[in-house]
A and B are shown apart, each in its own frame.
Chain A
Amino acid sequence: KAGVTQTPRYLIKTRGQQVTLSCSPISGHRSVSWYQQTPGQGLQFLFEYFSETQRNKGNFPGRFSGRQFSNSRSEMNVSTLELGDSALYLCASSLAGIFPGLFFGPGTRLTVL
């Protein structure tokens, strides 16, 4: 089975712009989670989708949003980018939840100038 894929792998944006990141989960996986990783804050949970519904949400402002499509592919959007949004954004998939573990993609490295 192909692993979790994320596109694009690298992205450079300027403050105020918006960005959309894409994640394709492992075939058959219905749960997709998103994490932000920065040197200062570590791995922070953004949100989790299951069967097109957001089931869990982290403590991020409303500028961060996501969605999941009927084929389980997911996108996350960040509007009005700030310098502090520069991070590695990781997507993870699983069959139905966090048990017995998540399968992570390689991440999208976002740089905001």
Chain B
Amino acid sequence: SQQGEEDPQALSIQEGENATMNCSYKTSINNLQWYRQNSGRGLVHLILIRSNEREKHSGRLRVTLDTSKKSSSLLITASRAADTASYFCATDARNTDKLIFGTGTRLQVFP
């Protein structure tokens, strides 16, 4: 079963625009991670945010975490065509080494 659900399921934007994806999860977590997957290939780790952090930045990525609402968002600023991919949030249940993935958001960035 999946821990997280992402919203929207699909998102289409123009290059230069910002893209925001949201993730909601069900149980308490230690960390939340975001991954990118290019069409039918392996996933690439983007960023990790700990449960005691509220915001984290990495290049054009900004992640927020609200543990009271059990939700996170990923913001990609100044999107590029190369950002076209599926984006997944992933959470760990406390005291396990299982990383459970959300349903993913398919992002299409048009040149």
Contact = CB atoms under 8 A, between A and B. Distances in A.
Q: How many residues of A sit at the interface, in one of the four size bands?
A: 20 to 34
A8 interface: no
Q: Tell me which of A4, A48, A109 has the highest count of chain B C-beta atoms within 10 A of its own C-beta.
A: A48
Nearest to B5: A42
B48 interface: yes
Contacts of B41: 106-107
Nearest to A33: B99
Nearest to A3: B42
Contacts of A59: 1
Nearest to A58: B98
A103 B88 CA distance: 14
Interface residues of B, number: 24
B24 to A, nearest CB: 15
B85 to A, nearest CB: 13
Given A90-B42, A99-B31, A42 B103 contact: yes
Interface of A: 4, 31, 33, 35, 42-45, 48, 50, 55-56, 58-59, 88, 90, 92, 97-107, 109
Interface of B: 1-2, 30-31, 33, 35, 40-45, 48, 88, 92, 96-104
